[in-house]
């Protein structure tokens, strides 16, 4: 009984000291303070209910959508989800149970894998790595495509020690040769990534800072660096109206999917998907 009481206290103290050490690290302190400032400045912004209703009203049924996908690609996606992704979830559950480290979820992994296979990007960008579920889906699809480099932006969790080593936890070594990871937060990372990339991005996945101002800043920053034919996937669009504002402003085609009790938005620039889908997929909307 006494031990059961000591364990939570020990975990709390460990988290406290890990946080203190993290904040004192000059590599991360500026970004950490910036995130706190943004959180406070947007504390009164509450668009969640309106954004949720908007996303619900524009949701495309995932099962109907994938009926338009060639069977061979669809089988690949299902094999990846059933074998690789499920195995990765078990790894993360074990890490949480044994070490108390929760790395969070992985976004719409099926959509990410499928769109990467279809788009065959030479350069892809993602924000928010955590366990690496989305990173692995992109890199696995790139491996099958036999081309592509993934640039990933993240910021280590500050609540546990040595957080950097858990970023991309599920990624096997053989996929890391085409992976470039940046760890100083989106503001600094994106500046460096845009200097390091060769050519525009054909695929982008955003799953980092959930604040509206951060999402809008991100889109405006990468917009000049997108290929004329590109796909952008945004997680958790039910949190605010940033995705709605982006698609209305840009008049692009988009889709909204419900996935694990949240909503994912996908933007299609140029002729993305047109070569592989017969006509417009169900629910495809032109915002012009």
pTM for the model stands at 0.83
- Model confidence at 29, in pLDDT bands (50, 70, 90)? low
> In this structure, what token pair is assigned to residue 151?
């640039």
Are residues 243 and 116 part of one domain? yes
Mean pLDDT, the chain, rounded, equals 84
- Which pLDDT value is given to residue 278? 42
In tens, the pLDDT along 38-97 reads 555 555 568 999 999 999 999 999 998 898 888 899 999 999 999 999 999 999 999 999
Element (H, E) at 56: helix 48-57
Are residues 36 and 122 part of one domain? no
pLDDT of residue 130 exceeding 90, the answer is yes
- Which pLDDT value is given to residue 45? 67
- Model confidence at 10, in pLDDT bands (50, 70, 90)? very low
In tens, the pLDDT along 169-224 reads 999 999 999 999 999 999 999 999 999 998 899 999 999 998 999 999 999 999 99
- Which pLDDT value is given to residue 263? 97
- Cβ partners under 8 Å of residue 200, min gap 6: 123, 225, 226, 227, 230
Are residues 270 and 172 part of one domain? yes
- Which pLDDT value is given to residue 67? 87
Q: What is the residue range of 31's domain?
A: 2-40
- Cβ partners under 8 Å of residue 277, min gap 6: 68, 69
Of the candidates 112, 154, 155, the one whose C-alpha atom is nearest the C-alpha of residue 133 is 112
Which of 46-55, 98-107, 247-256 has maximum average pLDDT? 46-55
Q: How far is the C-alpha of 37 from the C-alpha of 30, rounded, in Å?
A: 11
Looking at residue 200, what DSSP letter applies?
Answer: -
How is the chain split among helix, strand and coil, in percent rounded to 5?
55, 15, 30
Are residues 155 and 104 part of one domain? yes
Are residues 144 and 265 part of one domain? yes
Are residues 103 and 22 part of one domain? no
Q: How far is the C-alpha of 39 from the C-alpha of 288, rounded, in Å?
A: 33
Q: What is the CATH number of the domain that holds 221?
A: 3.40.50.150
- Which pLDDT value is given to residue 4? 43
Planar angle of CA 77, 139, 112, nearest 5 degrees: 45
Are residues 65 and 33 part of one domain? no
pLDDT of residue 230 exceeding 60, the answer is yes
- % of the chain with per-residue pLDDT over 90: 62
Looking at residue 59, what DSSP letter applies?
Answer: B
Are residues 258 and 279 part of one domain? yes
Are residues 26 and 57 part of one domain? no
Residue 181 C-beta-side C-alpha neighbours within 13 Å? 22
- % of the chain with per-residue pLDDT over 70: 78
Are residues 74 and 34 part of one domain? no
Q: How far is the C-alpha of 71 from the C-alpha of 160, rounded, in Å?
A: 43
pLDDT of residue 9 exceeding 60, the answer is no
Q: How far is the C-alpha of 124 from the C-alpha of 219, rounded, in Å?
A: 14
For residues 27 and 172, which has the higher predicted lDDT (pLDDT)?
Answer: 172
In tens, the pLDDT along 264-275 reads 999 998 876 664
For the chain, how many structural domains are there in total?
2
Taking CA atoms, 155 is separated from 25, 28, 118, 140, 158, in Å, by 13, 8, 29, 23, 9
- Which pLDDT value is given to residue 24? 54
Q: Which residues pair with 282 in a beta bridge?
A: none
Taking CA atoms, 142 is separated from 145, 207, 251, 256, 263, in Å, by 5, 19, 29, 24, 25
Longest dimension (CA), the chain: 65
Are residues 245 and 173 part of one domain? yes
Looking at residue 61, what DSSP letter applies?
Answer: P
């Amino acid at each position: 009984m006494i031990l059961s009481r000591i364990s939570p206290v020990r975990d709390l103290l460990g988290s406290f000291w890990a946080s203190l050490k993290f904040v004192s690290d000059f590599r991360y302190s500026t970004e950490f303070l910036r995130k706190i400032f943004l959180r406070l400045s947007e504390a009164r912004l509450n668009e969640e209910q309106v954004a949720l209703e908007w996303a619900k009203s524009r949701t495309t049924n995932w099962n109907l959508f994938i009926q338009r996908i060639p069977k061979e690609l669809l089988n690949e996606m299902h094999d990846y989800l059933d074998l690789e992704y499920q195995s990765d979830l078990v790894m993360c559950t074990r890490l949480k149970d044994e070490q108390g480290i929760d790395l969070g979820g992985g976004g719409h992994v099926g959509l990410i894998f499928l769109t990467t296979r279809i788009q065959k990007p030479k350069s892809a960008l993602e924000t928010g790595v955590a366990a690496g579920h989305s990173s692995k889906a992109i890199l696995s699809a790139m491996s099958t495509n036999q081309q592509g480099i993934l640039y990933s932006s993240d910021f280590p969790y500050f609540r546990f020690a040595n957080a950097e080593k858990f970023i991309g936890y599920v990624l096997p070594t053989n996929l890391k040769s085409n992976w470039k990871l940046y760890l100083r937060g989106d503001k600094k990372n994106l500046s460096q990534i845009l200097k390091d990339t060769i050519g525009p991005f054909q695929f982008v996945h955003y799953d980092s800072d959930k604040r509206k101002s951060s999402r809008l800043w991100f889109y405006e920053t990468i917009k000049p660096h997108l290929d004329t034919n590109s796909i952008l996937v945004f997680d958790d669009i039910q949190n605010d109206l940033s995705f709605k504002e982006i698609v209305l402003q840009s008049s692009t085609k988009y889709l909204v999917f419900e996935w694990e009790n949240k909503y994912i938005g996908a933007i299609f620039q140029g002729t993305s998907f047109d070569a592989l889908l017969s006509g417009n997929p169900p629910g495809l909307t032109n915002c012009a």
